[in-house]
């Protein structure tokens, strides 16, 4: 359980930090699962969903480790998403890398956050090095995210590789086709000018 140490055991801290810790402790404890629920990951999912800052998230992450729930795929995926939401992509990636057997949804969460956070080169690398190595069957969401990263980073070579993979897999829906048109229009135009 999360508890604050008694004041006599803590070094002096400024009043605003002390108030923040008290508020965090009170808010976190209100939402903590009961001891009999600790083997059930569902209360932790709602706790992660209601997490309001990175400090609280790290406390919840520690609870998951302490209670042996860190190998739970839905919890790990939500943890990855939560770290990303607080702009801590490095922590998110560490959690993702510790997932023993991530499913396609977990991969998409990490990839999506790379793109949303404007880490386009990392998104392309994540797709290229990791997803294709794991032989996951990509879907239209994956292709559109990677193609968007190719457009934003003006990486026509990677875009062409993704295009080839799209054709090979056979997932040519109108959204992916629009992403391909966008990529060729924007990247080829830049290539012609240089």
pLDDT tens figures, 92-109: 999 999 998 888 899 999
Joined together, the tokens standing for residue 172 give 């040519």
Distance CA 155, CA 177 (A): 17
- Mean pLDDT over residues 41-61, rounded? 86
pLDDT at 2 over 90: no
pLDDT at 62 over 70: yes
- Chain position carrying tokens 């055991």: 9
pLDDT of residue 132: 64
Which residues 6+ apart lie within 8 Å of 41 measured at CB?
A: 69, 72, 74, 75
pLDDT of residue 124: 94
Which residues 6+ apart lie within 8 Å of 108 measured at CB?
A: 139, 141, 142, 145
Q: Element (H or E) spanning 189, and its range? A: helix 174-193
Distance CA 65, CA 32 (A): 15
Tens digit of each residue's pLDDT (9 = 90 or more) over 177-186? 999 999 999 8
pLDDT at 9 over 80: no
pLDDT at 71 over 70: yes
- Quick one: which of 14, 27, 94 has its CA closest to 55? 27
């Amino acid at each position: 359980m999360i508890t604050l140490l008694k004041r006599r055991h803590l070094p002096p801290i400024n009043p605003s930090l002390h108030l923040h810790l008290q508020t965090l402790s009170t808010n976190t404890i209100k939402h903590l699962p009961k001891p009999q629920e600790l083997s059930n990951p569902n209360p932790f999912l709602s706790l992660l969903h209601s997490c309001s800052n990175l400090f609280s998230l790290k406390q919840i992450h520690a609870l998951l480790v302490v209670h042996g729930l860190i190998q739970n795929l839905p919890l790990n995926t939500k943890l990855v998403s939560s770290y990303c939401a607080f702009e801590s992509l490095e922590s998110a990636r560490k959690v993702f890398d510790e997932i023993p057997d991530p499913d396609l949804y977990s991969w998409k969460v990490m990839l999506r956050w790379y793109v949303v956070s404007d880490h386009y080169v990392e998104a392309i690398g994540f797709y290229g090095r990791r997803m294709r190595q794991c032989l996951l069957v990509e879907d239209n969401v994956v292709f559109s995210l990677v193609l968007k990263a190719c457009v934003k980073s003006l990486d026509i070579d990677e875009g062409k590789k993704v295009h080839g993979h799209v054709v090979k897999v056979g997932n040519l829906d109108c959204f992916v086709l629009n992403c391909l048109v966008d990529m060729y229009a924007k990247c080829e135009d830049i290539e012609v000018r240089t």
